[in-house]
A and B are shown apart, each in its own frame.
Chain A
């Protein structure tokens, strides 16, 4: 599936991100020398302890943060700010409370001035895909947390990005809904095959979803390891109990533990 000859979808080259902490006035290095590449159609998960810069990395990819050094290339073009080729599913649903599901899903294309009968049809397709058919005219407050995140996802998909970014989208959900949504995401991804970067601090979530898991370490944020997850698709939740799956979880857990030990707070 992965053609090693082709140009990677996303490349991070010698990426450093430093910023000034406004409270202390000190310079903080959030990311140090990140080199990685992602192929078209891959589902990537980034895991790591808090402070490892995984969210900073995502914010740099979406274009909120400018690299201090190095660069990120998407389809061989340097990322300089937010663009129509990327969209993000946020940790909080971030829906406009005065708009119903349909209008919230259309918000992205509306901002990009691409509302057409075609994009409307697309919104409908994705609403159906995330399992919200029949809820088009409901308002966010009428939906459960899981359903709100489905809207969040449908909104990001409707702009048809070539790269989908997901920033801990299930972290605020209860354990059961979370597992259920993981399963749903696997299904949706198998239908869209969008190149995706998913950030989480839950290792089993990362192993379950990803083709490859990037493990980040803290202070400063750096890439520790890049682990290919060789589990067949389509995946179902029950693989989480299989020894093969647990071995991956264990291995990543070890890596993170070692990193923490280095920091002196194991």
Chain B
């Protein structure tokens, strides 16, 4: 009859076990990356593949040191960061409320659904020529592309979240005389968080693609511009620096989302 015997697991024990297994897998990942870099370096060193195509880790590090010492390179990074942040924030600021409202209101959902579904699968980069004509080759056009690419995964995830609400919870709330607004606030909104974060994660990847493709297509500054330029001038190492910068940004941003996810879903069963 004691209370403790009704609990199946003690949370403390669980946590320590989880950290332990995680540390083990981190070592495996680190080793695999190191092995990959060594192989790459060796292939390049013995010219098994033309170094002009693949450069080498050491040359990339050298190129990175010179590039990062150059304030011009930081300007390129700054431009890209600016375009990305603005486009992405816009995508969230418009996409989240729109998706949630669509999921909540059937009529509104019917109005926007055909457009969202069609545009979701449309490769937005195909619209680049028009966007460049309309917004010029400066930052504005890149912001628009990032927005368009990130917007749809976010809207779709918010919509989806609202359509999977637990009807039992809604029934319980109604029995306590809950209003529609109360149900929205206490059940619908919190339920969307995990879905939203997933949509934001997908949006991040799309946004990063957008920034590079947008700058490659037509621009005067930015990391995609610099990268294309380096590639065209056979500065393979410099080009790879750009690729690494984008990849690392993506990993960091995804990591941040992961942290937020942990913070908001501490209630979730493992």
Q: Does B11 have its Cβ within 8 Å of any Cβ on chain A?
A: yes
Q: Are B268 and A97 in contact (CB under 8 A)?
A: yes
Given contacts A96-B169, A146-B6, A62 and B187 within 8 Å (CB-CB): no
Which residues of A lie under 8 Å from residue B269 when comparing CB positions?
141
Q: How far is the CB of B269 from chain A (nearest CB, A)?
A: 4
* Bound: A87/B178 CA distance, A: 12
**A: contact size bracket:** 35 or more
Q: Does B129 have its Cβ within 8 Å of any Cβ on chain A?
A: no
Q: Are A147 and B175 in contact (CB under 8 A)?
A: no
> Which residues from 145 to 178 on chain B have a C-beta closer than 8 Å to any C-beta of chain A?
166, 168-169, 171-178
Q: Are B177 and A90 in contact (CB under 8 A)?
A: no
B172, B176, B265, B268: the one within 8 Å of A112 (CB): B176
Q: Are B11 and A142 in contact (CB under 8 A)?
A: yes
Q: Which residue of A lies closest to B179 (CB)?
A: A111
Q: Are A111 and B186 in contact (CB under 8 A)?
A: yes
Q: How far is the CB of B11 from chain A (nearest CB, A)?
A: 7
* Bound: A62/B173 CA distance, A: 12
Which residues of B lie under 8 Å from residue A169 when comparing CB positions?
none
Q: Does B182 have its Cβ within 8 Å of any Cβ on chain A?
A: yes
Q: Are A96 and B190 in contact (CB under 8 A)?
A: yes
Q: Are A90 and B6 in contact (CB under 8 A)?
A: no
Q: Does A116 have its Cβ within 8 Å of any Cβ on chain B?
A: no
Q: Does B3 have its Cβ within 8 Å of any Cβ on chain A?
A: yes
Q: Are A96 and B7 in contact (CB under 8 A)?
A: no
Q: Does B46 have its Cβ within 8 Å of any Cβ on chain A?
A: no
* Bound: A132/B6 CA distance, A: 11
Q: Are B7 and A90 in contact (CB under 8 A)?
A: no
Q: Does B8 have its Cβ within 8 Å of any Cβ on chain A?
A: yes
Which residues of B lie under 8 Å from residue A199 when comparing CB positions?
none
Q: Which residue of B lies closest to A100 (CB)?
A: B267
Given contacts A131-B3, A144-B7, A82 and B177 within 8 Å (CB-CB): yes
A/B pair count, beta carbons within 8 Å: 73
Q: Which residue of A lies closest to B265 (CB)?
A: A98
Which residues of A lie under 8 Å from residue B3 when comparing CB positions?
131-135
Q: Are A143 and B7 in contact (CB under 8 A)?
A: yes
Q: Are A87 and B171 in contact (CB under 8 A)?
A: no
Q: Does A216 have its Cβ within 8 Å of any Cβ on chain B?
A: no
Q: How far is the CB of A211 from chain B (nearest CB, A)?
A: 24
A86, A92, A111, A132: the one within 8 Å of B182 (CB): A111
* Bound: A236/B55 CA distance, A: 81
> Which residues from 243 to 270 on chain B have a C-beta closer than 8 Å to any C-beta of chain A?
265, 267-269
Q: How far is the CB of B270 from chain A (nearest CB, A)?
A: 9
Q: Which residue of B lies closest to A62 (CB)?
A: B175
Which residues of A lie under 8 Å from residue B8 when comparing CB positions?
144
Q: Are B177 and A111 in contact (CB under 8 A)?
A: yes
Given contacts A94-B171, A111-B182, A144-B8, A139 and B176 within 8 Å (CB-CB): no
Q: Are B176 and A107 in contact (CB under 8 A)?
A: yes
Q: Are A112 and B186 in contact (CB under 8 A)?
A: no
Interface on B for A, CB 8 Å cutoff? Answer: 1, 3, 6-8, 11, 166, 168-169, 171-178, 182, 186-187, 190, 265, 267-269
Closest 10 CB pairs of A and B: A141-B269, A94-B172, A111-B176, A108-B176, A94-B168, A111-B178, A139-B267, A98-B267, A88-B175, A144-B6
Interface on A for B, CB 8 Å cutoff? Answer: 62-64, 82-84, 86-88, 90, 92, 94, 96-100, 107-108, 110-112, 131-135, 139-144, 146-147, 159, 180
Q: Can you spell out 13 A-B residue pairs with CB atoms less than 8 angstroms apart?
A: A62-B175, A82-B176, A88-B172, A90-B175, A96-B169, A98-B267, A111-B173, A111-B182, A135-B3, A141-B269, A144-B8, A147-B7, A180-B1
